[in-house]
Amino acid sequence: MDILKRIVDLRKERNWTEYQLAEQSGLTQSTISSWYRKNMLPTIPSLTKLCDAFGITLSQFFLEDECKTTTLNEQQLRLMYYAAKLNSEQYEALLHFLELL
């Protein structure tokens, strides 16, 4: 698997620039661009940040083409982003609220 190509493909699926990917992932744009300039692979922690930004798991990142992942839209990504910041009590309250809708 070409990991750098996979990152580009996921970024382009979302119509993100490299800068937008950096903002979404919390990585610097220079870090991301250096992977391509130096033909280096991201570290696991960096890859985890990218997957969080893309709204996918590491497992989904490494799925082969025939097992394409379902991509999340911008609203779903925002919901996941904010839900991840909640403590367990707040998260349960959010789930309860959503079940009532």
Looking at residue 10, its amino acid is L
Q: What is the pLDDT of residues 77-96, one digit of tens each?
A: 788 878 888 888 988 998 89
| Number of Cβ atoms within 10 Å of the Cβ of 74 | 9
Separation CA 77–CA 81 (nearest Å): 6
Q: What is the pLDDT of residues 24-79, one digit of tens each?
A: 999 999 999 999 999 999 999 999 999 999 999 888 898 865 455 566 778 887 88
The predicted pLDDT at position 85 comes to 82
> Which residues neighbour 36 within 8 Å (Cβ) at sequence distance 6 or greater?
4
Separation CA 21–CA 67 (nearest Å): 23
Question: Which structural domains are found in the chain, ordered by start?
Answer: 3-100 (1.10.260.40)
Separation CA 3–CA 95 (nearest Å): 34
- Predicted model pTM: 0.63
**What b/e sequence results for 14-49 when a residue is b if at least 16 CB atoms lie within 10 Å of its CB, and e otherwise?**
bebeeeebbebbebeeeebeebeeeeeebeeebbeb
